[in-house]
Structure 1
Amino acid sequence: MSWITSYPATTFMPIQATEIAKEVDLLYAFLIISSLISFVILIGGMTWFLIKFKRTTADQKSAYITHNNFAEFLWSFIPLVIMMVIFYWGMVIFEKLRVPPTDIAAEIHVTAEQWAWTYKYANGKEFYSSANDPLIVPAGKATKLILTSKDVIHSFFVPTFRAKQDAVPGRYTQMWFEPTQPGEYIVFCTEYCGTKHSGMMIKIKAVPSEEYAAWYHAEKKGADTPADKGKVIFAQRACASCHSIDGSRIVGPTMKGLFGSNRKFADGSAASADDNYLRESILVSTAKIVESYPPAMPLFQGQLTDEEVENLIEYIKTIK
């Protein structure tokens, strides 16, 4: 494809395919250089002192060596300052890596299993890595992945993005990235997951945003989207008898504007209504009782499949 970019190898590190990758590499370079300088000062100074102040006479061997308070303060305080700088710098980058921006262009569900990945788009498109299908994303725009696993812990790692996130059974994790240019990027599973772990590789195919939009809207599957499937389950399970979708109060909290809102619970705690909260509330409704509402909802753990729960969550996201 003409849009696939050939990146020149500039360092021993993988190419920097996102802006955050540059920040990660800068911090890494600082760690390497500061560690090298510290090593030279420590080992070089120790060697110099061993040679210069070697005790050779009886008087030298019996002499009492005093200490310098200022020197002792400096060699403790300076490393402390450097460590605090590294900690803060790393914290800032970690927050950027973990908190997605508000202008997400694509949200994709990625499910891991031995030894393949499944990716589902909001419009119903679904692909399997075992069929050599790449994960298609827009270049120059942010993509958010919601990850889970069917069996054991897997780990979704894109070296060129400097981004990695575990896929954990029974819960959702998330990661985001924004490829700066179109291209193909390798994804590794970096959590040992069985005999074919090393072969669990896929490609992320970043295409120009216009090409992505045309691909995304082509061959739409009509009402067969995860949200539409969730709407059917919502009706079949009679969820509307307790949860309104128009903001009115009935037995349970309304679904209108639920996703992303702040929830206050009967025990005084609070949490954001993210994917994990919705999953837990659907399967084990008594885990967190919303303030001023009775614990009336039945448990659906064992009654709904992971896919049905995922579809319900996608439908709830659309009720605004």
Structure 2
Amino acid sequence: MTFISLWPPSISGYSHQVDLLVIAFTVLIVALSAPVFILIAVFAVKYRRGRPADRKHSPNRNIPLEVSWSVVPFVALLGFYVWSTELFASLRHAPADALQIDVVAKQWMWKFQHPQGQAEINELHVPAGEPVKLTMASQDVIHSLFLPALRIKQDVVPGRYTTSWFTADKPGVYRIACSQYCGSNHSEMTGSFVVMTPADYAKWLSQSSNDLTLAAEGAALFRSRGCSGCHDPASTTRAPSLVGLYGNPVPLQSGEVVIADDQYIRDSILLPQSQVAAGYQPIMPTFQNVLSEEDVLKIVAYIKSLQPREATQ
């Protein structure tokens, strides 16, 4: 029988901060509420019916005391708001050198794709002490990737990418779960989160090596699906160049300027008429219901790898 721990292990600096926040906030709530419940009990006994007691209202008022029991809790709660907001915001800014891992959620499984080409089902291997960024997509309904030992949870939504990042410090095997009800087998959408020393992780990569990296698999799809017929630099068809596209501004026909991030590239593949590049006709066909989320992630990885030649030297 498997038991769910009420307080799972904490294996990162972020999870330690979350635990400290929870404990400190609990102490604050107890400190604010305990006097109320204690005085309720005291007054219920002291002023119960039939007991002699002075029930006259005191004419004296302690203004500083009355102000303090409103101001002090307000300032304390405001401090907790700032603390929790900073923790929340920190999950939205992954380090530039973070290891990129793609995640596809399906009823009812998790698929993890490493940049070297290794794919895992319901298991995620990561190196200890190194930042890891997860780019997640759902194949069907809303899921939510929950890593209790890291104290992070991120919804995985159909139609767009969501991201999260972490640095796991303690090697071991921990739990993965889906925290968003996603169907009849939701409770079975679990897995193992394996944190390894950098040496063990490198060994694991070599033992489970793939002949093709994620970008190489994307390049093969790029050619087999006919994308290179228009977007290849040698193509006679006039289409936007993809070399050096990722991370740079793209002017649109609407007059807007957007940054070519993962979401923009995904939308350009599946919803090509939504954001048409300035100076080009909206003639690109959609690949929706043609490419799976895994295929799109591979093509996105390939386009991200297309850097100008001078930038790679």
TM-score, normalized by the shorter chain, greater than 0.5: yes
Is residue 228 of structure 2 the alignment partner of residue 235 of structure 1? Answer: no
Which amino acid in structure 1 is aligned with residue 128 of structure 2? A
- 1:4 maps to none
1:215-252 CA distance string (max 9 Å, x none): 22345333x33312322333345545654669xxx944
- 1:177 maps to 166
- For 2:208 and 2:191, the matched residues in 1 are separated by 23
Greater mean deviation of Cα atoms: 69-78 or 83-92: 69-78
- For 1:119 and 1:279, the matched residues in 2 are separated by 18
Q: 1:74 aligns with which of 68, 74, 80?
A: 68
- 2:300 maps to 313
| Residues 308 and 199 of structure 1: CA distance in aligned 2, closer, same or farther (over 3 Å) | closer
- For 1:273 and 1:159, the matched residues in 2 are separated by 33
- 2:267 maps to 280
Contact 1:108 1:122 in 2 (8 A): yes
| Residues 89 and 252 of structure 1: CA distance in aligned 2, closer, same or farther (over 3 Å) | farther
Query: Which secondary structure state, in structure 1, belongs to the residue aligned with residue 70 of structure 2?
Result: helix
- For 1:80 and 1:259, the matched residues in 2 are separated by 45
- For 1:72 and 1:63, the matched residues in 2 are separated by 16
Q: 1:221 aligns with which of 210, 220, 225?
A: 210
- 2:141 maps to 152
TM-score normalised by the chain length of structure 2: 0.81
Q: 1:127 aligns with which of 120, 129, 135?
A: 120
1:152-205 CA distance string (max 9 Å, x none): 222211111111112222322222222112111111111122332222221111
- For 1:245 and 1:83, the matched residues in 2 are separated by 58
Which amino acid in structure 2 is aligned with residue 160 of structure 1? A
Q: 1:199 aligns with which of 188, 191, 203?
A: 188
Query: Which secondary structure state, in structure 1, belongs to the residue aligned with residue 282 of structure 2?
Result: coil
- For 1:273 and 1:147, the matched residues in 2 are separated by 17
- 1:27 maps to 21
Is residue 160 of structure 2 the alignment partner of residue 166 of structure 1? Answer: no
Contact 1:231 1:315 in 2 (8 A): yes
Query: Which secondary structure state, in structure 1, belongs to the residue aligned with residue 91 of structure 2?
Result: helix
- For 2:61 and 2:31, the matched residues in 1 are separated by 24
Greater mean deviation of Cα atoms: 19-28 or 110-119: 110-119
Is residue 285 of structure 2 the alignment partner of residue 299 of structure 1? Answer: yes
Which amino acid in structure 1 is aligned with residue 295 of structure 2? E
Contact 1:244 1:253 in 2 (8 A): no
- For 2:180 and 2:173, the matched residues in 1 are separated by 22
TM-score normalised by the chain length of structure 1: 0.80
| Residues 269 and 213 of structure 1: CA distance in aligned 2, closer, same or farther (over 3 Å) | same
Which sections of structure 1, spanning at least 5 residues, go unmatched?
1-10
1:9-65 CA distance string (max 9 Å, x none): xx9622111111111111111110000000123333455567778999xxx878696
Contact 1:253 1:293 in 2 (8 A): no
Which amino acid in structure 2 is aligned with residue 114 of structure 1? Q
- For 1:296 and 1:181, the matched residues in 2 are separated by 50
- For 1:62 and 1:308, the matched residues in 2 are separated by 78
Is residue 103 of structure 2 the alignment partner of residue 117 of structure 1? Answer: no
Contact 1:285 1:295 in 2 (8 A): no
RMSD: 3.2
Contact 1:140 1:179 in 2 (8 A): yes
- 2:246 maps to 259
Which amino acid in structure 2 is aligned with residue 194 of structure 1? G
- For 1:64 and 1:214, the matched residues in 2 are separated by 77
- 1:108 maps to 101
Is residue 88 of structure 2 the alignment partner of residue 99 of structure 1? Answer: no
- 1:7 maps to none
| Residues 272 and 76 of structure 1: CA distance in aligned 2, closer, same or farther (over 3 Å) | farther
1:53-103 CA distance string (max 9 Å, x none): 8999xxx87869686655554333322212221111011111222322222
Contact 2:138 2:293 in 1 (8 A): no
- For 1:253 and 1:16, the matched residues in 2 are separated by 47
Greater mean deviation of Cα atoms: 198-207 or 22-31: 198-207
